[in-house]
Amino acid sequence: EDQVTQSPEALRLQEGESSSLNCSYTVSGLRGLFWYRQDPGKGPEFLFTLYSAGEEKEKERLKATLTKKESFLHITAPKPEDSATYLCAVQARTGNQFYFGTGTSLTVIP
Amino acid sequence: NAGVTQTPKFRILKIGQSMTLQCAQDMNHNYMYWYRQDPGMGLKLIYYSVGAGITDKGEVPNGYNVSRSTTEDFPLRLELAAPSQTSVYFCASIDMNTEAFFGQGTRLTVV
């Protein structure tokens, strides 16, 4: 069964304190792994897509990496405006469904 | 280019009532999805469609129905609303192998 597990559930960081969010997945052949940011009361907003192990993508203070079993979202020197819930989703090669994790709620304290 | 538009934004239903959540996209995407999001539970797939005239069940389809008569529109129908259907509903559209675009959500309360 295809599954996505995110950890930790919640993370509090001081401004400037770097850390990583984890997304572990089990899927029968990965087509793509997706990271989204969700602000309260809004729909998820796309951040990255990763397709194969070893791939990395960066955007401002965020960097996403992918292995055969998990993905990390590294946050370097976070700012309060990075506070949000970060969602991970995977899509299998067979089928058209996207499976989402439950998210990591990040709070960055000034 | 509006992206994905969901209406209404908020709705309160009484038990047993019916309603349709509207979703429209103007990006000519073939793939469209309906998710529900409950606190601490992540996004659960209700139904999806890979093109006009084609729909399929997701993880939690019971109590819902969908139709896809055009590429642009993908309405979600709730028949006989129940308190368990209280949730935030998100519609998304995707051009395969690219990012998914989400609507702003419909917050539904069944009382």
pLDDT of residue B96: 67
Query: In chain B, which residue's Cα lies nearest the Cα of A48?
Result: B99
pLDDT digits (tens, 9 = 90+) for A61-107: 999 999 999 999 999 999 999 999 999 999 888 877 888 999 999 99
pLDDT given at position A95: 75
Q: Which of B89, B104, B86 is nearest to B13 (CA)?
A: B86
Burial class of residue B78, CB neighbours in 10 A (0-12, 13-18, 19+): buried
**pLDDT tens for residues B40-99?**
788 999 999 999 999 999 999 999 999 999 999 999 999 899 999 999 999 999 876 667
Residues of chain A in contact with residue B31, where contact means CB-CB under 8 angstroms, are: 96
Query: B-chain residues within 8 Å CB-CB of A41?
Result: 105
Q: Do B33 and A44 touch (CB under 8 A)?
A: no
The predicted structure's pLDDT at residue B98: 67
Query: At residue A36, does pLDDT exceed 80?
Result: yes
Question: CB–CB of A42 and B104 under 8 A?
Answer: yes
Q: Do residues A2 and A31 make contact, with C-beta atoms less than 8 angstroms apart?
A: no
Q: Which of B41, B59, B102 sits opposite A44 (nearest CB)?
A: B102
- Say if the Cβ atoms of A102 and B99 lie within 8 Å: no
* Interchain CB distance below 8 Å, B41 and A97: no
In the structure encoding, which two tokens stand for residue B47, read together?
């139904």
Note whether B35 contacts A100, CB cutoff 8 Å: yes
